[in-house]
Structure 1
Amino acid sequence: MYLNCHSFFSLRYGTISIELLIETAIALNVKTLALTDINTTSGAFDFVKLCQKNDIKPVVGVEFRNDDELLYVCIAKNVNGFSEINAFASTYKLTEKQFPSKTPEFENVIVMYPLSRKSEVSANNLIGVSISDVSQLWKYQHDLSKFVLLQPVTFLNKQGFNCHRLLRAIDKNCLLSKLQKTAEAKETELFYSPEFLKSTLSDFPTIIQNTNAILEQCDFEFDFHPIKNRQVFTTSKEDDLQLLKKIAYDGVIYRYGKHDKLARERVEKELKIIAELNFGAYFLITWDIIKYARSRGYFHVGRGSGANSIVAYCIGITDVDPISLDLYFERFINPHRTSPPDFDVDFSWDERDEIIDYVFKRYGSQYVCLLATYVTFRERSAFRELGKVFGLPKSEIDELANPRSQIDISKLGEWGHLIVKYGKLIEDFPNYLSIHAGGILISEIPLSYYTALNPMPKGFPICEFDMYVAEDIGFAKFDVLSQRGLGHIKEAVDIVFKNQRINVDIHAIQAFKDDPKIKAQVKAHETMGCFYIESPAMRQLIWKLRCEDYITLVAASSIIRPGVASSGMMKAYIERHHDPSKAFYIHPKMKDLLQETYGVMVYQEDVIKVAHHFAGLTLAESDVLRRAMSGKYRSRAEFQKIVDKFFLNCKEFGYDDVAKEVWRQIESFSGYSFSKAHSASYAVESYQSLYLKTYFPLEFMVAVINNFGGFYRTEFYIHEARRCGAIIEAPDINQSNYLTRIEGNTIWLGWVHIKSLEKKVIEWILKQREQSLFTSFDDFCRKVPAGLEQITLLIRVGSFRNLGYQKKELLWEAHAKQNTKRVFTISNDLFELEDVHYEFPVLKSSRIEDAYDELEILGFTLQNPFSLLYNPPKVFFRASDLSLFIGKQVAILGYLVTLKPTRTKKGERMFFGYFTDIFGEFFDTVHFPKSCEKFPFKGSGIYHIKGKVMEEFSHCSIQVTWMEKLPILADPRME
């Protein structure tokens, strides 16, 4: 009798989770249930899976609406009907058109129209009625053969109804008091018992009979176990395996030479498992995607657990040698994994879309889509939305929504109590559909059998479920991701060739690892701009480890995790790295498991090994544990069972005394952890960056500047380029391009760095320069149709300096020309007017004025910021000398680079600072809570800092005891 249930996937409408819907059905002894969310099938597979688990017959469909207008409800008779519904929905969603007032003729779909639309449809159409329609049924009692019970289920009680109304107000972006009745459900849309529904329609038993007959027609049988990915790459699975075998063994020769028996044996073993688990096509499709990228000259990084595979290494998906790193294939694919494996492949941020477009064209738009994710209401974001709905002042909303504020329930007024109450109620409700970071699904059969498709801004359709549902269904996703680091590398290689005519082999990874100059570069933590190893925390860790080799860098990529640092295991690892005799194993078994990492769990593989070999969990259970620690497992109940079994097994094995400490170390992985293969893949890219930074530092820094998105602001990459010997030039009318460029050792900043400079003006400048360089300001004004505001920006940043002009002189002339243009606008088309020349007094701008212009227009000054100080202190230390004053008080001037906020164990706020001194050298500061409170940061600028020099593993930092921000010279134009 339940043909029209809504879950919370009816976005900002439904109030019932799939789990709660099933629990209620069980409590009411309901044996057949239909989920028909509004315009979506997002919850369908979670619903089907839970129904099957609880012996409830699932029926799936969609309630179609245009805005608030209910059009019809469609339910699928079978999987083919589900495909028809999804295909129909996709047609209108992808073109962003409204749904038609009537459906097409379906073969396997039952369509029901609301009673309000009975006069609009033919006599053969089914008409759905709710209990609120009962009073009207007497008009149709002579023929109820097409009538069924279409009682919506939207909430479970009065509180649910209130929650629904709040969600509708959020959706409409209006005050609750202004919510229209037509925008909300009727208060009767409850999950009534079967007995109540039968009693209500006791005078119309035909309707109940019709409804049951409809439900009996439906049989949605879905098998979650088979792989749903495209099954073959060539024409058959046999041919796939032959092709994979050929390119894998060809790759063995390329990677290891002709006579490496161990490599060939491992390839053979992996190929056997790949064949058994039917993953041949998955490997070949990934290989095909990368082959296309290479044909276009694009770089990639294959990472994640896929780098455990020697086959992946041999066919060029990854650049990580699993033999030399002792990586085991079973971490990637094994029969006990609780989820399908997937390759993570990174491409440059500006090339990824082309790769995705290739996948859609190569494998067919009917079979390919991007994976979705749902953005849910979080507690504080829910508070903000509800605050707006209740009409609270912005200041009160900001206070409630601030994640740092402590909410005192006792001090909240009536509205505040309601916001907190309903905010917690809607927490984790899906709010809107978004795109997964890089997941792509490639299906064997049309995707309509699983989902409707939705449009996204870049034109690639996305499905209606997330990665967890995709895994449940049987999809192994392809992760096609993007990052800026590869953009740095590729552009740097291109710039090196243009600037020095040198062809760089960026894939000579082993040579990079063995290079003494690169080793010295790493050891000196000169890594600014280098992928993944440039942050202050990472540079500090590299220094503490005295890292100079690939293996140590791989470990550093993982032990920098916040959990490891806070648990004290990072410090323990560093100590043991410097003195292996200090390695400590909490139990004798751990020595066999963690000898490589001195008894510290560093990688996800360590968690699996400890859980399986130490705590006796199965490989499948260990994998669940690993996924949960990575934040990729959603069943809390299942996870808790495994936790309980972990401690129970440890007790039975006699490890009860150490179990808690082992578990504490495992917990440090929570939310952020790497597989060893993933860390190794990142380290390969780090070494490529290091090579370029070591041998071609200027070209490399230009590439970093042009690709943006690094850890630091552009200003500091420019500073680093200057440290490496570059001459930095502001944008120049005859030299600069859209992006920054280098000529010899001179770096010309690009037009892109000028705030508010219009793209069309840049295009005009570059277009005119293709013909000839600008010879004068008049020449520029004739050729480039730029307004006074745009010309003023160019003048103030000094773009005409190399034509012999003073900025102030040009500003006067620009204003004069602008006035002249206004006078001669009409006649200028008819007469050739001579240039009007004006004589102006010599007006030179000062260094301080130039600095202020640069700060305003570029966002930073190209001058030494310390030279702008007003009355700077006379005595200060330099960063390179801090090691001479360990334990002593020092005073130093520092230009703030970046801040990292954190909290102490007591929850108090503190900071780690990163500065450059007057000589351009970097140093670290620590600001404990009392120092923060007494001497707070006041934005970017130069600070006079006093504190005690602290040392840990030869790395010095200043524990700040006093600090003040120093004033800079005033702009003389403002005096």
Structure 2
Amino acid sequence: AGAEVRYGEVNDAILERITYELGIIKDKGFAPYFLVMHDIVQMSSRTCGRGSGAASIVSYCLFITNVDPIAHHLYFERFLSPSRLDPPDIDVDFAWDERDGVFAAVFERFGREHCARVANHNCFRLRGAVRETGRCYGLSDTQISEAEKKLFISGLNELDDPLWQTICRIATKLEELPKEISMHCGGLVITPRPVYCYAPLGLSSDGYPLLAWEKEGTEMASFVKIDLLGNRSLAVIRDTLANLEEEDIHIDQRLWHPTEDEPTIAALAKGDSMGVFYIESPAMRQLQKKTGRGDFEHIVIHSSIIRPAANAFITEYVERLRGKRWEPLHPRLAYILDETYGILCYQEDVSKTAVALAGFSESDADKLRKVIAKKAGGEKLRVYRQQFFDGCSANNVSEETTQKIWEMMQSFDGYSFCKPHSASYAMVSFQSAYLRVHHPAHFMAAVLSNQGGYYRSQAYISEARRMGIHIEGPDLNLSRIAYHARGNTLFIGLMAIANLTMQARVQIVEERKRRGAFSDLKDASSRLNLSREDWVSLVESGCCDSLALHYRRSEQLRILLTNSAREPESDQLELFTRPKQAAVQTRALVQVKRTEDELHREFSALGFLRNSHPLLLWAQYLRGLTRVKASELGRYKGRYVNLIGYQITQKQVMTKGGQSMSFVSFEDETALYETVLFPDLYQRFHPLLSSLWPLVVFGLVQDDQGALVVEVQHLKKVGS
């Protein structure tokens, strides 16, 4: 039935794949696992099955995963094969705010005695080990902190004090040893008999039965681990669709094919993906601009090839995609790497290459992939390297070619992704991107409400303005707790206001539902029983402006506190009570335009300004400053420019020589732009990047394969 729903007509190729997979699943005794996973995903309306399990057509037809493995050529053997000993491992994402409910439902559905959470083993790091050892020797936290400052500057070996020599010697031995047990964020086991029949159990701080083992130990003990994880972007999609329903805009999920939507593909090809799950980072947006490709298959490639050790291969990939002639490193790799232009991109490419060129078994090839991915190195990697070189030699692969391929394999050192995983996430990316293109205000409201994206709220507010969205509020009569949208207007939620209590947010919304909008400040203050701190937060954010357009915010606060349903303290009355004549005089002098002090307080309350870019706060320093607007950078390729930079995000990386450098995203009032600080410049200017004070950025505008980047030459604070 699932296959018919997914495919309509089940042809021979589909039936053959289903039969093949079911045979392996049956032989290995894993059918109950798939049925359990099917039950679990039914507990939520929106899920994303990912990882290597997304290569399974059985998972797809059971609605555990959402990517067609046949259409996208996903490699099932990366998940299960006759020679693979590992149990199946399907990670399933739920909306981040629904996951706890899913865990509760799982324990209820399968029985509390039959379920247990997996542990995390938190290990000592060197600083923590030094601190704990020092305490054991009777030292106070103050003594330890003072000594730490010297220790980690001069080094552990530069000590004269015999006691500290002993402490450091012991601490070094403690490093990487388990310190305490906590609960894994998503790991779960379900057993046919009560879990205590198989393993000892503890109790987590949340009250869940807890295995003593972490994920590796759980698998070694022959448990089949299930991972149920939280994903904010699933909540973004859910909330966007719900917000649209309020305006009678309905998207039929059965007929929704965002991967085929041309405006969405065009937007992604330009790197217009801020707020879009999985592909909104500066590096990813730059890669999109370089390639000019926004179709599903290329998004899958790009989200996989972006990894720390692959920079040189990314450059080669872009050149090949844009027309550079290339040949596969070996004819046997042509069918494996053709879709990625001859570049190893996915985890399974490592395994497939080892099998094709060096004659590895599927099992050994998978072990090689794991050794590389987990930075195991050492003797294991040397053994596999020798096996790979010997196998390639036996198959008449030249040593030069073998070396090049081995080096490309090493770019998977650390984290990397399999194609099924990237394809699963790319599907969520496309749904997000579609909503951004066609319903921008509703989408950005949901992004801001669910937080946790790559950027701060200020960056998303700026992006919304660049998209032509009207920003409104926060407003005592219009704002909900979360952000929401109507038409092309995005309403800031009460959640955006710093220090406003949840109790106050709920009370405001409930009071409006019960008795309607607030007519003026006195009406609001008489109906709401809020603390002084809550009123201060509301006023400073501008939330009460619409009820008192001609009042300064200090006067708004006086009125609210003197008429509050909660009796103000006597010193508050003394502070805010004024003669009536003074109040009239204040109203006459005030204009709608906010004072500099009010704007600074507004920024402190919200993290952004309601109606302007934060650079307005430094307007006095910007007047008369000769600079290029970020939106005009394309006219200055190859030239040195002065820009104003309001920092959005930065990423520090290490060069091969072990030096720190940084990629920094800035914006001004007109656009975002990307910069790079190479080691010498980063060493000199990195202290300036630790605050939100805007900077004067002097640098060289370069065209990096079609994406602009400013190579920074000098930084200074605006106004310095």
Q: Which residue of structure 2 aligns with residue 864 of structure 1?
A: 613
- Per the TM alignment, residue 649 of structure 1 is displaced from its structure 2 partner at its CA by 3.3
3-state SS of paired residue (1:372): strand
3-state SS of paired residue (2:321): helix
Select which of 203, 206, 231 maps to 1:458: 206
Q: Which residue of structure 2 aligns with residue 364 of structure 1?
A: 111
Instruction: Read off the aligned partner of 2:75 and give its amino acid letter.
Output: Y
Indicate the larger mover: 268-277 or 761-770: 761-770
3-state SS of paired residue (2:661): strand
Q: Which residue of structure 1 aligns with residue 542 of structure 2?
A: 798
Select which of 47, 58, 73 maps to 1:300: 47
- Per the TM alignment, residue 854 of structure 1 is displaced from its structure 2 partner at its CA by 1.2
Q: Which residue of structure 2 aligns with residue 312 of structure 1?
A: 59
> Contact between 2:131 and 2:144, CA under 8 Å: does it hold in 1?
no
Select which of 567, 575, 578 maps to 2:319: 575
- Per the TM alignment, residue 913 of structure 1 is displaced from its structure 2 partner at its CA by 1.0
- Per the TM alignment, residue 508 of structure 1 is displaced from its structure 2 partner at its CA by 4.5
Would the alpha carbon gap of residues 651 and 389 (structure 1) be closer, same or farther in structure 2, given more than 3 Å must change?
A: farther
Mapped pair 1:471 → 2:219:
yes
Select which of 661, 679, 685 maps to 1:935: 685
Q: Which residue of structure 2 aligns with residue 770 of structure 1?
A: 513
Would the alpha carbon gap of residues 444 and 715 (structure 1) be closer, same or farther in structure 2, given more than 3 Å must change?
A: same
Mapped pair 1:752 → 2:495:
yes
* Mapping 1:369-380, distance limit 5 Å: 369-380=116-127
> Contact between 2:445 and 2:491, CA under 8 Å: does it hold in 1?
no
Higher Rg of the two aligned structures: 1
> Contact between 1:902 and 1:910, CA under 8 Å: does it hold in 2?
yes
Select which of 954, 959, 962 maps to 2:711: 959
Would the alpha carbon gap of residues 890 and 484 (structure 1) be closer, same or farther in structure 2, given more than 3 Å must change?
A: same
Q: Which residue of structure 2 aligns with residue 527 of structure 1?
A: 273
Larger RCO of the pair (alpha carbons < 8 Å, separation 6+): 2
Identity of aligned residues (%): 33
Deviations 1:533-553 (A, max 9, x none): 111111111111212211000
Deviations 1:928-960 (A, max 9, x none): 122223434241132211111111211111111
> Contact between 1:733 and 1:800, CA under 8 Å: does it hold in 2?
yes
- Per the TM alignment, residue 410 of structure 1 is displaced from its structure 2 partner at its CA by 3.5
Deviations 1:58-79 (A, max 9, x none): xxxxxxxxxxxxxxxxxxxxxx
Select which of 537, 541, 556 maps to 1:810: 556
Q: Which residue of structure 2 aligns with residue 671 of structure 1?
A: 414
Distance 1:536 1:823 in 2: 50
Instruction: Read off the aligned partner of 1:788 and give its amino acid letter.
Output: R
Q: Which residue of structure 2 aligns with residue 134 of structure 1?
A: none
Instruction: Read off the aligned partner of 2:214 and give its amino acid letter.
Output: D
Deviations 1:341-373 (A, max 9, x none): 111110000111111111111111111111112
3-state SS of paired residue (2:293): coil
- Per the TM alignment, residue 556 of structure 1 is displaced from its structure 2 partner at its CA by 0.4
Indicate the larger mover: 542-551 or 574-583: 574-583
Distance 1:292 1:455 in 2: 25
Larger helix share, 1 or 2: 2
Instruction: Read off the aligned partner of 1:450 and give its amino acid letter.
Output: Y
Q: Which residue of structure 2 aligns with residue 264 of structure 1?
A: 15
Would the alpha carbon gap of residues 395 and 505 (structure 1) be closer, same or farther in structure 2, given more than 3 Å must change?
A: farther
Indicate the larger mover: 405-414 or 923-932: 405-414
Q: Which residue of structure 2 aligns with residue 851 of structure 1?
A: 599
Select which of 583, 586, 589 maps to 1:842: 586
> Contact between 1:813 and 1:838, CA under 8 Å: does it hold in 2?
no
Instruction: Read off the aligned partner of 1:465 and give its amino acid letter.
Output: W
Mapped pair 1:646 → 2:388:
yes
3-state SS of paired residue (1:292): coil
Instruction: Read off the aligned partner of 2:518 and give its amino acid letter.
Output: F
Distance 2:621 2:264 in 1: 42
> Contact between 1:792 and 1:814, CA under 8 Å: does it hold in 2?
no
Deviations 1:185-228 (A, max 9, x none): xxxxxxxxxxxxxxxxxxxxxxxxxxxxxxxxxxxxxxxxxxxx
Instruction: Read off the aligned partner of 1:333 and give its amino acid letter.
Output: L
- Per the TM alignment, residue 723 of structure 1 is displaced from its structure 2 partner at its CA by 2.0
Q: Which residue of structure 2 aligns with residue 487 of structure 1?
A: 235
Distance 1:558 1:876 in 2: 38
Indicate the larger mover: 702-711 or 741-750: 741-750
- Per the TM alignment, residue 388 of structure 1 is displaced from its structure 2 partner at its CA by 4.9
Q: Which residue of structure 2 aligns with residue 563 of structure 1?
A: 309
CA RMSD of aligned residues (A): 2.7
Would the alpha carbon gap of residues 663 and 858 (structure 1) be closer, same or farther in structure 2, given more than 3 Å must change?
A: same
3-state SS of paired residue (1:554): helix
Structure 2 spans left out of the alignment, 5+ residues: 572-576
- Per the TM alignment, residue 808 of structure 1 is displaced from its structure 2 partner at its CA by 2.3
Instruction: Read off the aligned partner of 2:274 and give its amino acid letter.
Output: M
Deviations 1:661-717 (A, max 9, x none): 332222221220111111111100000001100100000000001101100011111
> Contact between 1:525 and 1:540, CA under 8 Å: does it hold in 2?
yes
Mapped pair 1:515 → 2:261:
yes
Instruction: Read off the aligned partner of 2:640 and give its amino acid letter.
Output: Q
- Per the TM alignment, residue 455 of structure 1 is displaced from its structure 2 partner at its CA by 2.3
3-state SS of paired residue (1:680): helix
Would the alpha carbon gap of residues 640 and 790 (structure 1) be closer, same or farther in structure 2, given more than 3 Å must change?
A: same
Q: Which residue of structure 2 aligns with residue 946 of structure 1?
A: 698
Distance 1:424 1:647 in 2: 37
- Per the TM alignment, residue 559 of structure 1 is displaced from its structure 2 partner at its CA by 0.4
Mapped pair 1:423 → 2:171:
yes
Distance 2:565 2:401 in 1: 84
Would the alpha carbon gap of residues 446 and 644 (structure 1) be closer, same or farther in structure 2, given more than 3 Å must change?
A: farther
Q: Which residue of structure 2 aligns with residue 619 of structure 1?
A: 362
Instruction: Read off the aligned partner of 1:957 and give its amino acid letter.
Output: V
Distance 1:303 1:406 in 2: 46
Q: Which residue of structure 1 aligns with residue 634 of structure 2?
A: 883
* Mapping 1:277-356, distance limit 5 Å: 277-293=28-44, 298-356=45-103
Instruction: Read off the aligned partner of 1:521 and give its amino acid letter.
Output: A
- Per the TM alignment, residue 400 of structure 1 is displaced from its structure 2 partner at its CA by 4.1
Mapped pair 1:504 → 2:246:
no
> Contact between 2:522 and 2:559, CA under 8 Å: does it hold in 1?
no
The count of residues paired between Structure 1 and Structure 2 equals 696
3-state SS of paired residue (1:923): strand
> Contact between 1:629 and 1:672, CA under 8 Å: does it hold in 2?
no
Deviations 1:132-191 (A, max 9, x none): xxxxxxxxxxxxxxxxxxxxxxxxxxxxxxxxxxxxxxxxxxxxxxxxxxxxxxxxxxxx
Would the alpha carbon gap of residues 639 and 338 (structure 1) be closer, same or farther in structure 2, given more than 3 Å must change?
A: farther
> Contact between 2:630 and 2:673, CA under 8 Å: does it hold in 1?
yes
Instruction: Read off the aligned partner of 1:456 and give its amino acid letter.
Output: S
Instruction: Read off the aligned partner of 2:171 and give its amino acid letter.
Output: G
- Per the TM alignment, residue 778 of structure 1 is displaced from its structure 2 partner at its CA by 2.4
Would the alpha carbon gap of residues 417 and 664 (structure 1) be closer, same or farther in structure 2, given more than 3 Å must change?
A: farther
Q: Which residue of structure 2 aligns with residue 725 of structure 1?
A: 468
Distance 2:98 2:213 in 1: 26
